[in-house]
Amino acid sequence: MHYEGIEYAVRASPGLDQWTLLIYFPHKGCDETATVIKFTGSREAAAGVARRRIDNWLKRQQEKAHRDERVAKENN
């Protein structure tokens, strides 16, 4: 599945309502290793957690870009 341009998967794990979330954040590394998160609950809730993680990551990336831009302007 894709959300905001980032690929993620919700896979069933052994046990009742056990899920493994795989999120493939860009720029993590050349081998494109997924971030792995274990989750207990409904599949819909697991997908929601994955999307929230992606939202939080995107927000941090945006804040970092603004901070880097501000520092570059201050150094010129």
pTM to 2 decimals?
0.84
Structure tokens at 33: 């290793």
Helices (H), ranges, 1-76? 43-75
Structure confidence by residue, pLDDT tens digits, 6-65: 999 999 999 999 999 999 998 755 567 899 999 999 999 999 999 999 999 999 999 998
Torsion of CA 11, 17, 18, 21, to 10 degrees: 40
